Structure 1
Amino acid sequence: MIGPADLPTGLQPAHRDVDLRHHGDAEVGDGLADFAVNVRTGMPPAWLAERLRASVADLAAYPDPRPARRAVARRHGRAVDEVLLTAGAAEAFVLLARVLAPRKAVVVHPQFTEPEAALRAAGHTVERVILGKDFTLDPAFPSGGTTPQAPRQGPLIPDDADLVVIGNPTNPTSVLHPSGAIAALAAPGRTVVVDEAFMDCVPGEPETLASKLPAGVAVIRSLTKTWGLAGLRAGYVLADPHLIGRLAEAQPLWAVSTPALVAIEACSAPEAVAEAEAWAAALAAERDRLAGELTARGLYVVPEARASFLCLRVPDALGIRALLRQRGYAVRRGDTFPGLGTDWLRIAVRDRTSNDALLDVLGELGI
């Protein structure tokens, strides 16, 4: 069986020449079957689409975020002044980069690259922490991992880091870190930003910090993935009222459109949360089946996947990606994620029929 790569772990300057702005949407098009974008297919559901259509009647008025903000606060058991609505998670990363002035910003990789891109665009120097084998954050020692070539000598996250960014569950690895391990990263004078864009893929959300919100922790959430709203841009930040106030001051007026506000309010309702929970349970079963099929073929799949995608190591992954495109399938290249390389792919989990069709094509390619 192909094992995990012996990747260099630890603190690294952000100098590796990777395209941080490359995302899954760049992989699709031309009628390709989409296994590259981690947005749920067949969405939004009819009830949500109808509410969005109805919201067009209110477009003459300026957006009023108050009902949606109250709905998000109720959904997570937070105060209203701990909530800021944003045009997707991406805007939240930009706002944080504009408002915070870190002396030492650290981004834990592999993970979604937009937080680092936003920090760099705002003029901040960024250092990367590369997690070790299986890309897990050790709950007993939350600052890192180990490889045979590079035994752990001490914390990977330096004590003087005053900004730490981490995903949970993490894109692209699908790893769900223990909430206690992430909370343990918090320290006086440090802001910990947790990207929970895929947390609603996890039944029960046992590791979310949205409802706990420890001091110094900011949580970013998105409706894009589960509800199929990438084109609408709907997300939010949960943090202490002081930070929320600073972010709000940096945010353009009326940044979140009326249809997006309608979606945020609707998807935060108890019945919508229950619907997402049922989907997450079905997703988990199909994801585990697909992971088992790929593992049985001798591929290394990052274990304990908990989001709506799998991260796997494939010999000549870029070549396999090109051959899949020729056969009508788009998958996400892994080499634009710091901490991965040219032998990694990310594959979105679809329905069983679609997943089996992809497996058949992989079989034709000798995988």
Structure 2
Amino acid sequence: MTRDDLLRHHGDVDAVPGLVDFAVNVRGGRPPEWLRERLVQALDRVGVYPSAAEDRRAREAVAARHGCDADAVMVLNGSAEGFSLVPRVVHNLAAVVHPSFTEPEVALRSAGVPVHRVLLDQSDGFLLHPDRVPKDADLVVVGNPTNPTSTLHPADTIRELAQDRTVLVDEAFMDAVPGEPETLAGEPNTLVFRSLTKTWALPGLRAGYVIGHPDLLAELARNRPQWPVGTLTLEAVTACCEAPALAESEVAALDATAHREALQAELGDFVLGDPRAPFLLVEVPGGERIRCALRERGIAVRRGDTFPGLGPDHLRLAVRSPRECAPLVAALKAELEVRS
């Protein structure tokens, strides 16, 4: 694989049909029934163009959810679309904190933006050190909680980075952290990206949003196509930001926390850092062999060597219930015994 091929490798490539999926971090495998019903009802409106009123309704729902103004919200065709717009707000240098989701770096490099990688150390639990970020970087990209390390950085640390420049905070998994204690949504000098893909099982319906200063959002939206977001996406964003959905999301976050702790207890010292998201980063001897062996056993896990700063012994494991994780734990322990 070329460098670009590695950066564009994601869990869906590992999780081919027929395998038990621990490679993709999507809850439940399908949207809940109430959300499916909302989307079905919205199908009656796809015969007309998405309206400014529908866009406003979705942005107001996001604003109410995060305590900001609707003009500080832009609905996206998933965070990936937003990342493709970000080069428009970089004038000098982008610093990307790694290991992390690689699509922001891909978008920046593809647009010709100089990128400096800030590699965090496994030895200190992938902690973020603001003094390692170049002072001349006018954009800093950081995940929180970070994919794939499952690290939750303190909001105060990220605020320190945002004092005199823009910080893009990828909070795709923040709603899986009970109470969302470290969110930066609505903070000055930040672009906070949120995704509905994970919690609401909507990877096939590109749905997300970004929160930031209206001037920054206007720059992102410059030359964006007319009707950039479809009716179903607008309906999904609205529905998933309403009170019943938020209550369900918090219960799901508590469940995910309990399930993560149970899986971490089973895997012990193989788990890295202080995980807070619904996935674990592990380091195992002979990781590539073990990943392939698990695949032969019908189990897909996410390879780690496509993330800058990680190698073939790193694997990312999606968190499921203890019952669902039991075959993974048994297979992984069996392969580690074969190795020893």
TM-score (norm 2): 0.94
The letter of the residue matching 2:80 is A
Report whether the alignment pairs 1:319 with 2:324.
no
CA 1:106–1:135: 2 relative to 1, 3 Å: farther
Aligned mates of 1:93, 1:137 — CA distance in 2:
24
CA distance in 2 between counterparts of 1:223 and 1:341 reads 29
Deviation string, structure 1 residues 209-257 (Cα, Å, up to 9, x no partner): 11xx332111000000000000000000100010111222232222211
1:38 matched to 2:11: no
| Residue type of the alignment partner of 1:217 | T
- The answer (yes or no) to whether the contact 1:21–1:113 under 8 Å persists in 2 is yes
Deviation at 1:100, TM superposition (A): 1.8
Which residue matches 1:348?
318
Query: How big is the shift at 1:300?
Result: 2.6
Q: Which amino acid aligns with 1:200?
A: D
Q: What is the letter of the counterpart of residue 211 of structure 2?
A: L
CA contact (8 A) 1:42 1:228 kept: yes
Alignment of 1:134-149 (within 5 A): 134-138=124-128, 142-143=129-130
1:238 pairs with 2:211:
yes
Gaps of 5+ in 2: none
* Residues 347/137 of structure 1: CA separation in 2 closer, same or farther (3 Å cut): same
Among candidates 62, 72, 77, match of residue 87 of structure 1? 77
Aligned to 1:50: 37
The 3 A distance-change label for structure 1 pair 17 and 237 is closer
Change (3 A) 1:294 1:123: same
1:194 aligns with: 169
Equivalent-residue separation in structure 1 for 2:313 and 2:97 (angstroms): 20
Question: 1:67 & 1:202 partners in 2: Cα distance?
Answer: 26
Deviation at 1:102, TM superposition (A): 3.0
Hey, what's the Cα distance between the residues in 1 that align with 2:153 and 2:242?
A: 26
AA matched with 1:346:
R
- Cα deviation for residue 364 of structure 1 reads 2.3
Q: CA deviation at 1:121?
A: 0.8
Does residue 215 (structure 1) correspond to residue 188 (structure 2)? The answer is: yes
Q: Which runs of 5+ in 1 are unaligned?
A: 1-14, 144-154
CA distance in 1, matches of 2:317, 2:205: 23
Distance in 2 (CA, whole Å) between partners of 1:292 and 1:229 is: 30
Aligned to 1:331: 301
CA RMSD of aligned residues (A): 1.5
Q: Tell me the amino acid that sits aligned with residue 203 of structure 1.
A: P
Aligned to 1:69: 59
Partner of 1:20: 7
Cα shift at 1:302: 1.7
Structure 1 stretches of at least 4 aligned residues deviating more than 3 Å after TM superposition = 15-18, 134-138
Separation of aligned partners in 1, 2:284 and 2:333: 13
**Structure 1 residue 349, shift from structure 2 partner:** 0.5
Q: Distance in 2 between matches of 1:194 and 1:251?
A: 21
**Distance of aligned partners of 1:135 and 1:161 in 2 relative to their CA distance in 1, 3 Å threshold:** farther
Tell me by how many angstroms 1:161 deviates. Answer: 1.2
* Structure 2 counterpart of 1:196, one-letter code: E
Aligned to 1:126: 115
Cα distance between partner residues in 2 of 1:16 and 1:187: 32
2:255 aligned residue (282, 299, 312): 282
Aligned match of 2:153: 177
2:102 maps to 1:109: no
Matched residue type, 1:192: V
Per the TM alignment, residue 18 of structure 1 is displaced from its structure 2 partner at its CA by 6.6
5 Å matches for 1:264-279? 264-279=237-252
Deviations 1:246-277 (A, max 9, x none): 22223222221111111100000011101000
1:250 to 2:240 alignment:
no
**TM-score (norm. length: structure 1):** 0.88
Is the 2:125–2:274 Cα contact (8 Å) retained in structure 1? no
Tell me how far apart the structure 2 counterparts of residues 321 and 195 of structure 1 sit (CA, whole Å): 27
1:204 has 2:179 as partner: yes
Residues 82, 240 of structure 1: 8 Å contact kept = yes
Task: Tell me the equivalent position of 1:167.
Answer: 143
Match of 2:328 in 1: 358
Distance 1:268 1:251 in 2: 24
Separation (CA, whole Å) in 2 of partners of 1:321 and 1:134: 26
